[in-house]
């Protein structure tokens, strides 16, 4: 019974450390977003309707996936959440940038911005993150299989 209580304390201590680490990462990411928003992007929000909602939705979902992924570190689920985070970034970029071509009308001025090159680079970088999570999951499972035979 004593071993079980010590084991429970150890697991609780590890989970508390994971939760603290995830919280700190989430807060740091939000502070970076807030500083960047107030310094650079707040002025653009007046010109582009809905920009703040688009960015805030992205930041919230990304932080949630990051925190949940950090809480599940040491398990195979971490790699699932990392893959979900990479796929979310790809999907959200395509959705929010409307395929890379943005047409904005402001009073008598029509502005057409072609961001397809930026979108392609961002998608390729996110695909690297997806590949990293898939390879990490394969490595994790192979290490578990090695320990099972030893």
Q: Residue 45, Cβ neighbours under 10 Å: how many?
A: 15
Q: Is the dihedral of CA 56, 61, 65, 70 positive or negative?
A: positive
Percent of all residues in the chain with a pLDDT value above 90, rounded to a whole number:
55
- Tell me the C-alpha distance between 47 and 45, whole Å: 5
* C-alpha atoms less than 13 angstroms from C-alpha of 47 in its C-beta half-sphere: 10
Going from N- to C-terminal start, the domains of the chain cover 1-71, 75-150
Q: What pLDDT digit, counting tens, does each position of 37-69 carry?
A: 888 887 877 777 778 888 899 999 999 999 999
Running DSSP on this structure, what letter comes out for residue 1? -
Q: What pLDDT digit, counting tens, does each position of 92-127 carry?
A: 999 888 888 888 787 888 888 888 999 999 999 999
Between 12 and 3, whose confidence is greater?
A: 12
Between 149 and 136, whose confidence is greater?
A: 136
Instruction: Please return the burial class of 51, using the count of CB atoms within 10 Å of its CB with bins 0-12, 13-18 and 19+.
Output: middle
């Amino acid at each position: 019974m004593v071993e079980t209580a010590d084991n429970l304390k150890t697991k609780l201590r590890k989970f508390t450390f994971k939760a603290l680490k995830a919280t700190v990462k989430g807060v740091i990411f939000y502070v970076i977003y807030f500083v960047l928003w107030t310094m650079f992007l707040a002025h653009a929000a007046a010109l582009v309707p809905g920009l703040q909602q688009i960015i805030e939705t992205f930041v919230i979902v990304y932080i949630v996936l990051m925190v949940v992924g950090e809480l599940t570190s040491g398990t195979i689920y971490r790699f699932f959440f990392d893959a979900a985070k990479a796929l979310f970034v790809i999907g959200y970029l395509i959705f929010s940038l409307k395929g890379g071509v943005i047409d904005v009308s402001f009073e008598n001025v029509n502005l057409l911005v072609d961001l397809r090159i930026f979108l392609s680079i961002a998608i390729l970088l996110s695909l690297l993150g997806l590949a990293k999570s898939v390879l990490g999951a394969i490595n994790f499972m192979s290490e578990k299989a090695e320990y099972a035979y030893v």
